[in-house]
Amino acid sequence: MVELEALKKAKVKFENLLAKNVQIEEFSLLFDTGAHEFESIECLKYVRTFLSIQSLLEKCQRFASVAPANYVKAEIKSDIEATFNEYFEAYDWLRN
């Protein structure tokens, strides 16, 4: 189960990593929800808010998320953002 507190800690670690590696000009991000077992809807809202931070958006070239089909419909939203039901589909999309 993904807990809100764990997401907050991961966010801080990620921000520190980006701050230390200023030479990183761009990257792709894959967010795999696994079994989509979250402590609450607040976890998903927190992730969406984090992914909307301008400094992150400026460096993130592409973003793919993975979620089970019974929760989210697979969809390529743009050249930059897509949602998939299978991890390897998301990974392949990020690489191409």
Structure confidence by residue, pLDDT tens digits, 7-64:
999 889 888 887 787 677 788 989 888 777 889 989 988 988 888 777 777 788 899 9
φ, ψ of residue 67 in degrees (nearest 5): -150, 150
What's the whole-number mean pLDDT along residues 57-84? 89
CB neighbours of residue 65 within 10 Å: 18
Q: Which of 9, 59, 11 is nearest to 31 (CA)?
A: 11
Which token pair is 58? Answer: 């400026």
Q: What is the pTM of this model?
A: 0.77
